[in-house]
Structure 1
Amino acid sequence: MTRAASLISLVLHPMMVTPATFGLLIYTGSSIPENSHLLFIIAFFFSTILAIATVYYMKQKGIVSNMDVSIREERVQPLVFGSIYCGLGFLLLKYLDAPALIQGLMFCYAFNTAIVWFITRKWKISIHAIGLSGPLVALWLHGFHLPIFMGIALVLLCVSRVILKVHTPAQVIAGAGMAMGLAYVQLTLLFL
């Protein structure tokens, strides 16, 4: 059971979901931007590569214990950097006049990561659940209406995190609910 849970947690890891979501938003739909490759590289670099490189550096320096940053107290600093990186990515995507949903998702990553870093100072919320729920909202708004598949993926991820004993049910439910609610409000009110 824990082997399956570990596999699900790896496949649906935020650093896997993020580039896949940006790829779907950029390369599918009725109007693919002319500068689609550049937009994807920017989104991938600012949302994923910089975050992984930062955590790797912090692990090498002994600032964090592992690449998952599983200890709550160690999460704040990587989250601060992640929020800054995504904020810079958002500004660059805005400057390049990326489609609204792509700008919006990067904004969500920046803003919601800042919220998570404040929550994390007092309580461990599921970043895995957040990292899947927000992108699912963006994909839904883009036209991927696959509620059964999306729901199953989210439930499997949340249950996996509980089985692995890295989160409580409350932490995964709070993460999923917060990310869905914030992403929907931010994307529909500010970008669409």
Structure 2
Amino acid sequence: MDTTGPLAARVVTEVLSPAVVVVALPLAVAWHATGADVVATLGWGVLVAVFYSVLPMAFVVRGARRGHWDGHWVRDRAHRTVPLLVCLLSAAAGMAIMLVGGAPREVVALAWSMILTLVACLVITRWWKISVHATVAAGAVAMVAFLYGPWLLLLTLLVALVCWSRVAVADHTVPQVVAGALLGPLAGGAVFLTLH
């Protein structure tokens, strides 16, 4: 773990990272989509988690260990293109499996929303360093609140915590985390709402 910033901020950055959220979110969506069928939830949720989080993160961590970029969060904007493209390719492979396998509509909607949000982040990153942490956290809150009820908007407090942590560890500026927190619900949430 990096030693920049307060310990609490570094812990939040790791615990509420996109890699963690993108493991938990597909399980929540699959649980709703399958009517709480445990086997189907695990099957579809784990499939999304593997192709949208685990495999891309393994690539990023391996690249960081080999010195291709400056850590597993790829702080240097100029080095983010390759990791984001690998994430996109992995997601596309997962999407193909879901479409062939007949994944539930809500799970497919989640997968498309993550792909399109990733594309938006990739395009923005060509010129500016938007916070992917904030984007993913805010988009996830929008989706679970839509599926399970507005009381889950209380999780917005966790989004604020993520935004604070990214600024506190000096990985992002306030405008970068605010833009990310808006992009998640506006891009990912809107696509999910449209396709679900």
TM normalised by structure 1 equals 0.90
Alignment of 1:15 onto 2:1 = no
8 A Cα contact 1:105 1:135, kept in partner: no
Asked if structure 2 preserves the Cα contact closer than 8 Å seen for 1:101 and 1:138, the reply is no
Residue segments in structure 2 that go unaligned for 5+ positions in a row: none
Paired residues in the alignment total 191
Which residue identity does 1:66 align to in structure 2?
G
Q: What is the distance in 1 between the residues matched to 2:118 and 2:52?
A: 11
Q: How far 1:18 moved relative to its partner? A: 0.8
Q: Give the C-alpha shift of residue 20 in structure 1.
A: 0.8
Q: Does 1:154 align with 2:165?
A: no
Tell me the secondary structure at the aligned position of residue 80 of structure 2: helix
Alignment of 1:86-101 (within 5 A): 86-101=91-106
TM-score, scaled to structure 2: 0.89
1:119-168 Cα offsets, whole Å, 9 max, x none, are: 11111000100111111122112114334531211111111211222111
Match 2:183 to one of 168, 178, 186: 178
**Aligned-residue CA RMSD (Å):** 1.9
Q: Distance in 2 between matches of 1:30 and 1:94?
A: 16
Give the superposition deviation at 1:19.
0.8
Gaps of 5+ in 1: none
Percent sequence identity is 23
